[in-house]
Amino acid sequence: MKVSCLAWAPFSDRLDELAAAVGGERKNFDMGYLPKFAAPAKYLVFMIMTLVYLLRERPDVVYAQNPPPFCPLVCIPYCKATGTKLVVDHHNLWYVKGFAGNPIAPYVRAIEATVGRAADANTVPHSVWRDTLASMGGRRVVTVHDYVPRNPYDRSEEVRRPISSRGVIGIASGHQGVPQERVESEARAAEMVTGVTLAITGPPERLGPRVRALGQLRNVKFLGYLPKDGYERLKASCDFGLSVSDEPNTVNHVLFEYAAASLPTISSRRREIEAVFGDSLVYVDSSDPSAVAERIAWLIETPSRLAEYRGRISDRFERLTREREAEIGSLRALIAGRDAPPEGAQAPPVPSPAF
């Protein structure tokens, strides 16, 4: 069975993980970072490229990612005409996350509802999107949380030394330049806590100007994008992770990365995050730098507290790993055309498909 996993994006960690789980072939359609006014032309080009790709590859299953919803939308007529199964992964709902308060939000919602109803099945990363999509008429909506394999590296003084020769090192990563990602609060907060150095990673073209606008911060280092191996080593070598964001209905992917590295983590408090991570994180109720700084100071106050939260996040990772096995069983059942078990039920063993 040939599964084509499509995204209109330069990359998608989530779809990479899902494609690996179902043995799918990944295909990104990307034209780099263009100004917003070029979006209509870009999406028109992507529609043509997607149809050409499908006609050439003729997959048995199309696994398309929303947003943007135009990616799965253009797949609908092809799948209907050829009898190809369509599964849509909604890594978020665009009308909420991208267009809240915008006059065109109802139209975006209508497109996403059409996609959810037309698909043979839908996957979402957490229960908030599951319930919302189901209320919009989405068919066979199954939750598949993000997941990152265990970080294979140990703490390395060689990695730490260029960042700080002494003291506590934190990392703020996973940023994509979204305005609601509060990198400024993270940097200002680190500046307020004595003995802390914060390493920030992310796309230089989007994040760099925001960090530079903060001026010279003595204990904040912007590293840009790192090679994957270097990035994994950095996470394993830090003392804590930081994820401050005002994005609605979002469980940031980087939280799973931190869990995979057993990294004590401070996160913005949201019900969907607490539903996944429980008491394994230190939560901050405001993105104000002083509130974030207070949480950093509290976490690093004693070595025993850092060790406690390292243990908590490590235990949570093991639990997430067990849950992931059941979720992937449900996903493979959907791809193979079988009904997925009810959520919360133990999925029957499903062998890895030899696609």
Domain end marker among 121, 144, 167: 144
Say if residue 166 is in the same domain as residue 305. Answer: yes
Say if residue 13 is in the same domain as residue 129. Answer: yes
Assigned domain for 321 exists: no
Query: Which residues are paired to 7 by β-bridges?
Result: 28
Q: Which residue has the higher pLDDT, 266 or 336?
A: 266
pLDDT of residue 352: 37
Distance of CA 271 to the CA centre of its chain: 16
Q: CB neighbours (10 Å) of residue 347?
A: 18
Say if residue 137 is in the same domain as residue 177. Answer: no
Domain end marker among 114, 144, 174: 144
Most confident of 195-209, 213-227, 258-272, 334-348: 258-272
Q: Rounded to 5 degrees, what angle do the CA atoms 48, 52, 54 make?
A: 120
Say if residue 234 is in the same domain as residue 181. Answer: yes
Spatial separation of the C-alpha atoms in residues 269 and 267, rounded to whole Å: 6
Q: Which residue has the higher pLDDT, 344 or 53?
A: 53
Assigned domain for 43 exists: yes
Say if residue 190 is in the same domain as residue 100. Answer: no
Assigned domain for 323 exists: no
Spatial separation of the C-alpha atoms in residues 133 and 258, rounded to whole Å: 28
Of 278, 268, 266, nearest in space to 320 by CA: 278
Q: Is the pLDDT of residue 191 over 60?
A: yes
Spatial separation of the C-alpha atoms in residues 246 and 237, rounded to whole Å: 27
Q: Is the pLDDT of residue 254 over 90?
A: yes
Say if residue 92 is in the same domain as residue 184. Answer: no
Region 278-289 average pLDDT: 97
Region 64-87 average pLDDT: 97
Q: Is the pLDDT of residue 14 over 50?
A: yes
pLDDT in tens, 222-248: 999 899 999 999 999 999 999 999 988
Assigned domain for 322 exists: no
Assigned domain for 69 exists: yes
pLDDT class of 348 with cuts at 50, 70, 90 = very low
pLDDT of residue 102: 87
Q: Is the pLDDT of residue 351 over 50?
A: no
Q: Rounded to 5 degrees, what angle do the CA atoms 69, 70, 75 make?
A: 105
Q: Which two tokens stand for residue 314?
A: 């490590």
Share of the chain above pLDDT 70, in %: 95
Omega prior to 59 cis, within 30 of 0: no
Spatial separation of the C-alpha atoms in residues 134 and 62, rounded to whole Å: 21
Looking at residue 104, the DSSP 8-state letter turns out to be: T
Say if residue 231 is in the same domain as residue 204. Answer: yes
Alpha helices in the chain (DSSP H): 13-22, 39-57, 70-82, 94-97, 105-118, 127-135, 157-160, 183-192, 204-212, 228-237, 253-260, 271-277, 289-300, 303-336
pLDDT of residue 345: 46
Q: Is the pLDDT of residue 216 over 70?
A: yes
Q: Is the pLDDT of residue 340 over 90?
A: no
Region 260-268 average pLDDT: 98
Tell me, yes or no, if the pTM score tops 0.75. yes
Q: CB neighbours (10 Å) of residue 264?
A: 25
pLDDT in tens, 128-168: 899 999 999 999 999 999 989 999 999 999 999 999 988 99
Say if residue 169 is in the same domain as residue 111. Answer: no
Say if residue 188 is in the same domain as residue 113. Answer: no
CB 267 within 8 A of CB 277: yes
Assigned domain for 82 exists: yes
pLDDT class of 341 with cuts at 50, 70, 90 = low
Say if residue 130 is in the same domain as residue 189. Answer: no
Say if residue 177 is in the same domain as residue 136. Answer: no
pLDDT class of 355 with cuts at 50, 70, 90 = very low
pLDDT of residue 347: 41
311: left (phi over 0), alpha (psi -120 to 50) or beta: alpha
Assigned domain for 347 exists: no
Q: Using the structure block, give the residue that is written with the tokens 């990294």.
A: 263
Say if residue 176 is in the same domain as residue 305. Answer: yes
The helix, strand and coil proportions of the chain, stated in percent and rounded to the nearest 5, come to 50, 15, 35
Domain with 199 in it: what CATH number?
Answer: 3.40.50.2000
Q: Whole domain around residue 9: which residue ranges?
A: 3-144
Assigned domain for 36 exists: yes
Q: Rounded to 5 degrees, what angle do the CA atoms 255, 142, 320 make?
A: 35
The total number of structural domains in the chain stands at 2
Least confident of 14-23, 96-105, 282-291: 96-105
Q: Rounded to 5 degrees, what angle do the CA atoms 158, 163, 166 make?
A: 80
pLDDT in tens, 167-176: 999 999 977 7
